[in-house]
Amino acid sequence: MMRQMREATKPIMLFTAAAFVALMVFQWGMDITGRSSGSYGEIGKVNGTPVMYNDYMSTYRNLYDQAQKSAQTPITSQQNEQIENAAFNQVVNQILIQQELERRGITVTNQEIQDAAKYSPPADVRQQFTDSTGRFDLQAWQTTLSQLSQEQLLSLESYYRDVIPRGKLLRQVSSGIYPPDGELWTKWKDQHEKVEIRYIPFDPGSSIPDDSVKVSDEEIQAYYQSHQDDFKVPAKATVKAVVLSKTPTAADTAASRAKADAVLDSIRSGAADFATMAKRESSDSASAAQGGSLGVVAKGQTPAPFDSAVFSARIDRATGPIETGYGYHIIEVTKRWRQDSAQVSHILIPIQRTDSSELALLDEADSLEAMGAKMPLAEAASNLGLDVVTADITSTLPILQGAGQIGEGSEWAFQDAAPGDVSPVYENDQAFYSLELVSSQPAGVLPLDQAKSTILQTLRMQKKMKMAEAEASKVVKKVQDGEALAKVASDLHLEMRHAGPFSRVDYVPGLGRENPAIGAAFALKPGQVSGVVTTTSNVFVIENIDRIPADSSAWLKQEKQQRQTFISTEQQQRLQQWISALRASADIVDRRDEVLKPAGSDNSQQAPQSSSPYGGMPGGM
């Protein structure tokens, strides 16, 4: 259990199910066709086509590596489960696509492959023959193509045999996407046509005193009975918790500072140059590969301590350590243009737990788990000198102070535990933690006595809005009788505000975004005054001062790019809908839990479980 939970982590984004399909599925292909292989055979089926273990593991490893590269720390067991599910969904999608290719009879001819090889190399290859201006050197590519070995040509042929049919399928699935000029112009106009207005806000929430609005108990009772769905509450659990924070200790911080000092001393003493030390020691991998270079940094672009050091440091002299939220930096400024910008390199030494500190934390977590299996959590914590807190969590917002979101702990509390049970030690990116369930209550409806104050506020606000609308109607009537809005506001001692110019999609302070007030502002001609305009929480009377038309010539200049962007977006949405429909109608069998049982289970085909794709899994590196 603890081995699976010892991967420190931060949240990572995973593409799953329909969202993963996108264009890359069709353009690149994954060679997942249900072909056999692998010691564990099939782990599922898609409309009768086997999902093979080796295909699944290959995809899983790719996703795991991508996720790990985007994270500063290792993957947790909970995130590993997300990756496993994403890998299975991706394999399923690929099989569905292959089945659809066969059903539609989509194939590729030798001539199509030859033409593609001559004129359309794979994207990564094409990039190698593209200069800085974006010009593709076709002649250079074709010369290289003529010199490829037989093995390379076969590999290229295999690529096109997979990609070209998928491209044909893509065109069939997303055909007919071509927005008319009018639709594109409307979208452009929404973003670039602007108006300028003045308006009177009636602000019922603040301008009308609460004690001037009466709400009866009968009204509250009637509202409660007719809005039961509004008062549904999630399941709730009260737990005792012990949290072992992963935050570096003071000793860890001191160790990181000492390392930064040592790096600086090595550079200044001449034992190593800055670039060498950056490649060896910096945790900023992107700049480390460039000898620590950050390129040209503008004033104010970096955190304040870093920025201050950059514009005060001696040129060509290593300076530091400078502490920011990222850790300790050693910097070197090679050029500076007054106080505007500078050419900077840095070495980042993060503030993180030392190996000994990490081991001590893991040992403490091991001990807590071992004791928690034998005694109440408070007793286990007392034996280890740890604090116990009592907290309430809900199934929709499982947050624990010091540990953040506790997904695994929440599942245990709401699905597996009985009062008095002590959980295993779970882990997320912030901490190790263990729970003891004190009590729980199922999801239900908030009692009237607890909902009463909220209902009172709602009904009171509704009545205030009606009162504000009545006041606004008086203003509108005076304007309709010939008075200027500004004079009416002055006579009635009402505040008049100014806004704009703004577009239909802008957020406008005081008015909001894309609501009836914005719509009314654009519906008016210059000089016109609106009727009573009601939004969710305010009432307005609006006067249009000026309208700034969208520039049609500017629209024409960018129309082609706008259309391409529109088509690409619509294409993605249609593909996601299409693959979702395929999955909904498919017979998908997932046998991973059955086939890949942990060691020690009664399954004859046991696959060792691991939170790493390379640790303990068949074929691991």
Nearest Cα residue to 599 out of 614, 613, 617, 612: 617
Nearest Cα residue to 29 out of 137, 170, 153: 170
d(CA 455, CA 6): 47
- Helices 150-173 and 110-119 cross at an angle (nearest 10°) of 100
- In CATH, what class is 235-245+366-442? alpha beta
Letter string b/e over residues 406-445, b meaning 16 or more CB atoms within 10 A of that residue's CB: bbbbbbbbbeebeeeebbbbbbbbbbbbbbbbbebeeeee
pLDDT of residue 14: 32
pLDDT of residue 134: 77
SS3 state of residue 322: strand
pLDDT of residue 53: 86
pLDDT of residue 26: 47
pLDDT of residue 178: 87
- All structural domains of the chain with their residue ranges: 110-173, 194-229+450-548, 235-245+366-442, 250-349
| C-alpha triplet 27, 33, 38: angle, nearest 5° | 125
CB-count burial class (<10 Å; 0-12, 13-18, 19+) for 59? buried
The structure tokens listed for 415 are 């699905």
- In CATH, what class is 194-229+450-548? alpha beta
What letter does residue 148 receive in the DSSP assignment?
Answer: -
Nearest Cα residue to 143 out of 123, 128, 124: 128
pLDDT of residue 18: 30
d(CA 335, CA 60): 46
Select from 3.30.950.10, 3.10.50.40, 2.70.98.10, 2.170.120.12 the CATH code of 250-349: 3.10.50.40
DSSP string, 552-603: HHHHHHHHHHHHHHHHHHHHHHHHHHHHHHHHHHS-EEE-HHHHTPPTTSS-
pLDDT of residue 343: 92
Given this chain, do its domains 194-229+450-548 and 250-349 carry the same CATH topology?
yes
pLDDT of residue 73: 62
What are all long-range contacts of 501-505, with beta carbons under 8 Å and residues at least 24 apart?
501/194, 501/195, 501/196, 501/546, 501/548, 502/194, 502/195, 502/196, 503/190, 503/191, 503/192, 503/193, 503/194, 504/190, 504/191, 504/193, 505/190, 505/191
Cα 566 versus chain centre, distance = 22
pLDDT of residue 602: 47
Residues 326, 330, 335, 338, CA torsion sign: positive
Nearest Cα residue to 346 out of 304, 318, 311: 318
Kind plus residue range of the DSSP H or E element containing 492: none
Neighbouring C-beta atoms of residue 178, cutoff 10 Å: 10
User: The pTM is what?
Assistant: 0.55
pLDDT of residue 502: 96
What letter does residue 536 receive in the DSSP assignment?
Answer: S
Low-confidence ranges of the chain (pLDDT < 50): 1-39, 598-621
